[in-house]
Amino acid sequence: MIRVGVIGYGYWGPNLVRNFQRCPGCTLVRVADLEPKRLAACSRDWPCVDVTPDALEVTRASDIDAVAIATPIRTHFELALDALRNGKHCLVEKPLACTALQCETLIEEARRRGLSLLVDHTFLYTEAVAWMKQFVSSDRLGDLYYLDFVRTNLGLFQHDASVVWDLAPHDLSVMLEVTGRKPIGVSATGARHAGSRVADIAYLSMDLGDGALAHVHVNWLSPVKVRRIMVAGSQRMLVWDDMEATEKLKIYDSGVSVEQADVDGQPRTLVDYRIGDMTSPALAPREALQTLVQHFLSCIRGEAKPRTGGEAGLEVVRILEAAQHSMEHGGKSIRL
How high is the pLDDT of residue 158?
Answer: 80
144 & 216 share domain: yes
- 218 CB burial (10 A radius; 0-12, 13-18, 19+): buried
Whether 238 and 248 have beta carbons less than 8 Å apart is answered as: no
State which H helix or E strand residue 273 sits in.
strand 266-279
How high is the pLDDT of residue 182?
Answer: 97
Measured CA to CA, the distance from residue 15 to residue 288 in angstroms comes to 11
> Average pLDDT in the 203-216 region?
98
73 & 219 share domain: no
Q: In this model, does residue 334 exceed pLDDT 90?
A: yes
Those residues whose C-beta lies under 8 Å from the C-beta of residue 321, and which sit 6 or more positions away, are 99, 100
**Mean pLDDT over the full length of the chain:** 95
Measured CA to CA, the distance from residue 103 to residue 96 in angstroms comes to 7
Structural domain including 132 reads 124-284+318-335
pLDDT confidence band for 138 (50 / 70 / 90): very high
Residue 323 lies in a domain: yes
| CATH code, 327 | 3.30.360.10
CA atoms within 13 A on the CB side of 174: 28
| CATH code, 27 | 3.40.50.720
How high is the pLDDT of residue 151?
Answer: 98
216 & 301 share domain: no
> Average pLDDT in the 193-216 region?
94
330 & 194 share domain: yes
pLDDT confidence band for 321 (50 / 70 / 90): very high
Residue 265 lies in a domain: yes
Whether 117 and 110 have beta carbons less than 8 Å apart is answered as: yes
Residue 14 lies in a domain: yes
263 & 146 share domain: yes
CA atoms within 13 A on the CB side of 127: 11
- Taking the CB of residue 100, how many other CB atoms lie within 10 A of it? 19
pLDDT one-digit tens code per residue, 146-195: 999 999 999 888 877 999 999 999 999 999 999 999 999 999 999 999 78
Name the β-bridge partners of 30. Answer: 5, 50
159 & 265 share domain: yes
pLDDT confidence band for 269 (50 / 70 / 90): confident
pLDDT one-digit tens code per residue, 48-85: 999 999 999 999 999 999 999 999 999 999 999 999 99
192 & 57 share domain: no
252 & 200 share domain: yes
297 & 249 share domain: no
pLDDT confidence band for 266 (50 / 70 / 90): confident
Q: Which residue has the higher pLDDT, 261 or 144?
A: 144
As for how many domains the chain has, the answer is 2
216 & 327 share domain: yes
Residue 313 lies in a domain: no
pLDDT one-digit tens code per residue, 2-33: 999 999 999 999 999 999 999 999 999 999 99
95 & 132 share domain: no
302 & 328 share domain: no
